[in-house]
Amino acid sequence: MRRRTFVATASLSATAFAAPAAAPAAAPAAAPAQGPASPAQNARRIPRYRQDAWFDALPGKHRLFIDATSIAEAASATGFAWNFLRSSQTGYNLKDADQAVVICLRHDAADVAVSNAVWRKHQVLRDLEYKHPDSAKLVRGGNVFRPGSADPKSVEDPFTLDGLARRGVHYAICGMATRYLAGMIAGEKATPDRIEEIMDELVKSMPANAHVMASGILAAQRAGEYGYTVVRA
Q: Residue 126: its pLDDT value, please? A: 87
Q: What is the pLDDT of residue 138?
A: 80
Instruction: Tell me what percent of the residues of the chain surpass a pLDDT of 90.
Output: 59
Give me the amino acid identity at 16: A
Look at residue 146 and tell me whether its pLDDT is greater than 70: no
What letter would DSSP give residue 41? Answer: H
Spans of all domains in the chain: 63-232
Q: Classify burial at 23, counting beta carbons within 10 Å of its beta carbon; exposed 0-12, middle 13-18, buried 19 or more.
A: exposed
The pLDDT of residue 189: 93
What is the model's pLDDT at position 17? Answer: 28
- Strand bridging mode 138-140 / 129-131: antiparallel
Residue 29 reports pLDDT greater than 70:
no
**C-alpha dihedral sign at 119, 112, 76, 96:** negative
Task: Supply the mean pLDDT for the chain.
Answer: 81
Identify the pLDDT of residue 120: 85
Report the pLDDT value the prediction gives residue 5, as an integer from 0 to 100. Answer: 31
Instruction: Tell me the pLDDT band of 228, cut-offs 50, 70 and 90.
Output: very high
State the Cα–Cα distance between residues 174 and 153, nearest whole angstrom.
Answer: 24
Q: Which residue has the higher pLDDT, 115 or 1?
A: 115
pLDDT-derived band at 224, boundaries 50, 70, 90: very high
pLDDT confidence bin for 141, thresholds 50/70/90: confident
For the stretch 49-67, what's the b/e string if a residue is b when 16 or more beta carbons lie within 10 angstroms of its beta carbon? eeebeebeebebeebbbbb
Class of domain 63-232: alpha beta
Which pLDDT does position 40 carry in this prediction?
A: 58
Which amino acid is it at 93?
Answer: N
Looking at residue 175, its pLDDT comes to 98
Residue 87 clears pLDDT 80, i.e. is over it: yes
pLDDT in tens, 97-127: 999 999 999 999 999 999 888 988 999 998 8
**Does the predicted model carry a pTM greater than 0.85?**
no
pLDDT over threshold 80, residue 193:
yes
Q: What is the mean pLDDT of residues 18-39?
A: 45
Higher pLDDT, 84 or 23: 84
Please say if the pLDDT value at position 153 is more than 70.
Answer: no
**CA-angle at 159, arms to 135 and 115, nearest 5°:** 85
- pLDDT of the residue at 42: 59
- 44 against 201, higher pLDDT: 201
At 123, the amino acid letter reads Q
